[in-house]
Structure 1
Amino acid sequence: MNIYEIHKSNPDIFTQLSLRNQLFCYYECPQKAKIIQLYSKHNQLTFTLSGKRIFRHGNKKWTLSQEQGFLLKRGAFHQEIPDDFSDWKVLVLYLKDDYLKQVFEEFRPHFSSVNLPELDMEMIQEFTIDEKIKNSYKSLLPYFSKPHLLPDSIFEGKFKELLFNILIHPDNKQILAYINQIVDNYSIPIWEIMEANYFYDLKISEFADIANRSISTFRREFEKHYQTTPGKWLTAKRLEKATLLLQTSNKTISAITFDCGFKNVSHMSRIFKEKYQLSPTDFREQKKQGIDII
């Protein structure tokens, strides 16, 4: 599910404001399912006001609570309700590249590009919140109930103050390095997008969205790099991951199907039988017995 479009198209559930075509949302999460798959084609800053949620990407997880802020880069992830269930009230700020560049350039003299860290390839990046940052994001909240209380220019000033306080904090250089990369018009390589997200059940158009490319450009760059089509590559990568999990984990077939991005168990079983002439269950049993499978 495209979380940005879900938020944007449901203002009755996700209270929202728009500032220069940037979407800001403040809401109590209505999630009912234990875990859901989401993706976003825009970077977002997320601040937890109360409760918590778990975000998972690949084999890593992050617990979102009031102690930390989070930057979610373009990509897919799983959002999970923790076992000690509690409501989750959250402020989400979607930031498009052009606007980030504009704000960064305005404050560039205040940012040092010296000794910035190597970019962390993780899609989810936590950052430090101090009292100034906390006060900055909390100052935005009253305007969700009274959106015309202040002119846009004043509200924008409050948002810029928040972003400035995040980027100027000495513990948040990883965030500064990432935004500095965006400002430099860095185009994320196709391989980086695919290796980080192939195990999610996404359409080719959704991978293109995350990569910030048109479908035709995405396909052209993909085939140039991988020398095959996206569909064939995705099937092979997902099958490779499923094969490994069947041999090295005790996960159920259903869980492996979910973890590898197959649409459903019957879909994975069909792919498996085409490759090995065995169902996933039979494949696992023969491997346990030490039977070689050609």
Structure 2
Amino acid sequence: MLAYNTYKVHQSNQKVFQHFKVNNQLFVFYNCPQKEKVMQLYNAYNQFLFSIGGKRIFSMGNQRWELTKDTAFLLKRTAYHQEMHEEVEGWKVLAFYVKDAYFKKILEEFRPLLPWDNLPPHTDDMLLYIDLNDQIKNCFLSMLPYFDDNRRYPQDIIEMKFKELLYNIFIHPDNKHILAYVNAISEGYQTPIWEVMETNYMFNLKLDAFAQITNRSLSAFKRDFRKHYNTSPGKWLIKKRLERAKIYLGTTNHSIQSIAFDSGFNNASHFSRVFQNQFNISPSTYRNSLG
């Protein structure tokens, strides 16, 4: 199963995902309708999220985050697993998709007022927690009335509230890592090809999805990929996914289907066929041969 593009999903159903755009930024409020225990998702844009109630678990590789009530974070362009919690089914969340040009516009407007001293170095962490105080939390909650379908609000008023939220996040002394990342984006920072691929190869993404996560056109993505890896994305992905699958076959008791899912293949049949073609042995026979 291919990973879902959250931006497209959140625009797909107004009744499930209440949403609107302000200055071309997408704002969404929803009770998560997730049915499967684990889903593969990916972000085409940077996204601010505020968890109002319930719980979800996000994971990328060996990293896991529990997103509970009154937690907020900035999720970069990335793929990830979203897992339902065993004891808590629901998850109510407020999300804001922010494009790079808007980050640049906001920082230029606020630049003289922001704390630029002692910014931390940029990290490759895909999820950045936002430290909350009462002011930031109240800014998030003050956005909820704008999702009332029965009333219309001028976009300038809503944008002013969103700017207030961003400003309060940026000036909080424990959110300098957020300001550092947004500033890097505003100055044209482009995530390296290797960083995206090494973090996301195990997700079942099409090449255009990888291109979106790297913030490149498909042609630019393919060009930069070959320049770095000296091979095509398709060949590299098969090699990396099979390497991961072989490790899991030899070190875990996970089912073939689970290993296929965790390694980025469409399904167990597709995985078995590719594995057989590459190594002249089936995954199950290979596992049994290891004793």
TM-score of the two chains, using structure 2 as the length reference: 0.95
Partners of 2:203 and 2:106 in 1: CA distance: 33
User: What residue in structure 2 maps to residue 179 of structure 1?
Assistant: 182
Secondary structure of 1:125's aligned partner: strand
Residue correspondence of structure 1 range 142-181 to structure 2 within 5 A: 142-145=145-148, 148-181=151-184
User: What residue in structure 2 maps to residue 120 of structure 1?
Assistant: 123
Of 34, 42, 51 in structure 2, the residue corresponding to residue 31 of structure 1 is 34
> 2:62 corresponds to which letter in structure 1?
N
User: What residue in structure 1 maps to residue 263 of structure 2?
Assistant: 260
Residue correspondence of structure 1 range 134-283 to structure 2 within 5 A: 134-145=137-148, 148-283=151-286
Secondary structure of 2:188's aligned partner: coil
User: What residue in structure 1 maps to residue 43 of structure 2?
Assistant: 40
Segment of structure 1 superposing worse, 253-262 or 59-68: 59-68
Partners of 1:29 and 1:111 in 2: CA distance: 34
User: What residue in structure 2 maps to residue 55 of structure 1?
Assistant: 58
Alignment deviations for residues 260-286 of structure 1 (CA, whole Å, 9 cap, x no partner):
101111111122212222111111121
User: What residue in structure 2 maps to residue 92 of structure 1?
Assistant: 95
Of 54, 63, 67 in structure 2, the residue corresponding to residue 64 of structure 1 is 67
Runs of 4+ in 1 over 3 A off after TM superposition: 146-150
Partners of 1:150 and 1:277 in 2: CA distance: 63
Partners of 1:116 and 1:282 in 2: CA distance: 53
TM-score of the two chains, using structure 1 as the length reference: 0.94
- Equivalenced residue count is 288
Of 85, 92, 96 in structure 2, the residue corresponding to residue 82 of structure 1 is 85
Where in structure 2 are there 5+ consecutive unaligned residues? none
Greater relative CO, 1 or 2 (CA 8 Å, sep 6+): 2
Evaluate the alpha carbon distance shift between residue 147 and residue 111 of structure 1 in structure 2; reply closer, same or farther with a 3 A threshold.
farther
Partners of 2:243 and 2:204 in 1: CA distance: 15
Secondary structure of 1:11's aligned partner: coil
Secondary structure of 1:16's aligned partner: strand
User: What residue in structure 1 maps to residue 108 of structure 2?
Assistant: 105
> 2:94 corresponds to which letter in structure 1?
L
Alignment deviations for residues 221-249 of structure 1 (CA, whole Å, 9 cap, x no partner):
11111111100000000011111111222
Q: CA deviation at 1:148?
A: 4.9
Secondary structure of 1:143's aligned partner: helix
Partners of 1:30 and 1:51 in 2: CA distance: 12
Q: CA deviation at 1:174?
A: 1.2
Secondary structure of 2:290's aligned partner: helix
Partners of 1:124 and 1:77 in 2: CA distance: 10
Secondary structure of 1:129's aligned partner: coil
Tell whether the 8 Å contact from 2:52 to 2:70 is kept in structure 1 after alignment: no
- The answer to whether the aligner puts 1:284 opposite 2:287 as a matched pair is yes
Partners of 1:150 and 1:267 in 2: CA distance: 50
Partners of 1:270 and 1:71 in 2: CA distance: 38
Q: CA deviation at 1:147?
A: 7.3
User: What residue in structure 2 maps to residue 15 of structure 1?
Assistant: 18
Tell whether the 8 Å contact from 2:103 to 2:182 is kept in structure 1 after alignment: yes
Segment of structure 1 superposing worse, 54-63 or 38-47: 54-63
Q: Alpha carbon RMSD of aligned pairs, Å?
A: 1.3
Where in structure 1 are there 5+ consecutive unaligned residues? 289-294
Tell whether the 8 Å contact from 1:17 to 1:147 is kept in structure 2 after alignment: no
Secondary structure of 1:18's aligned partner: strand
Q: CA deviation at 1:149?
A: 4.5
Q: CA deviation at 1:75?
A: 1.1
Q: CA deviation at 1:252?
A: 1.7
Partners of 2:110 and 2:149 in 1: CA distance: 29
